[in-house]
Amino acid sequence: MVVLLVSFAVLILKGSGLLLKNDIAIDENNKEKRKEFYKKETQIEKLGRINSEIKLLETKTEKTAKDFAILGRLYWKKANLIHSDPEATDVCALSIKAYKKSIELNPKNSENYFELANLLIEAFPYRSRNETVKYLSEGLKHNPKNPGKFHKKLGDIYTEIFYGIDLDNEVLYKGIAEYEKSLEMEDNLNRKAGLWYKIARALHTKYPPLD
């Protein structure tokens, strides 16, 4: 009888938008409580939740551009959780595929270009630089709310190419030019200082001080 009453109470909580976690009712509409609730999740619980959300979206017969963008984010989160697992590379590929589909359905959403570019450079840093530059450049054509972050990311990619594999002046100057564009659009003093540091580092590499 007691078990039935408890089960019934849990069903009522779920039905009313509340979750039961460690005997605490969490209102799904309360952002702060939700944040605290998810913070307490273990890695296994997070993975279980992400898998459930992926399954729910994958079973939709007609997916929108937004659905595919959410799928891309979920797959990327899953890949980060299982990064040491051989399956992580396949999950990354699914994330990339979902983002590309979202862009195909709604090419005007600049944020998806940025997220895909970030994913590519983090997941495959050495083999996807050209593709990353392509998506960031495409995203800039669609009037993003924060174009400065696109220019900053382009600056990072060009200068990393220069430092790593290609000591080509043109590549380095491209990177500095992108940082300068980002500087023009940046109001935050700390972020401005960070951009000046990146420019100084690039110039120092090209023109080291004379002994």
pLDDT in tens, 179-190: 999 999 999 999
For the whole model, what pTM was predicted? Answer: 0.73
For residue 75, pLDDT beyond 60: yes
What is the mean pLDDT of the segment spanning 132-160? 91
**CA neighbours closer than 13 Å in the CB half-sphere of residue 70:** 14
Q: How many CB atoms lie within 10 A of CB 40?
A: 11
Closest CA to 181 of 157, 150, 156, 210: 150
| Beta carbons within 10 angstroms of residue 49's beta carbon | 14
pLDDT at 192 over 80: yes
Average pLDDT over residues 94-106: 96
Specify the pLDDT at position 45: 86
The mean per-residue pLDDT over the stretch 69-98 comes to 91
Q: Residue 56 burial (CB < 10 Å; 0-12/13-18/19+)?
A: exposed
pLDDT at residue 166, rounded to an integer: 56
Token output for 143? 């009037």
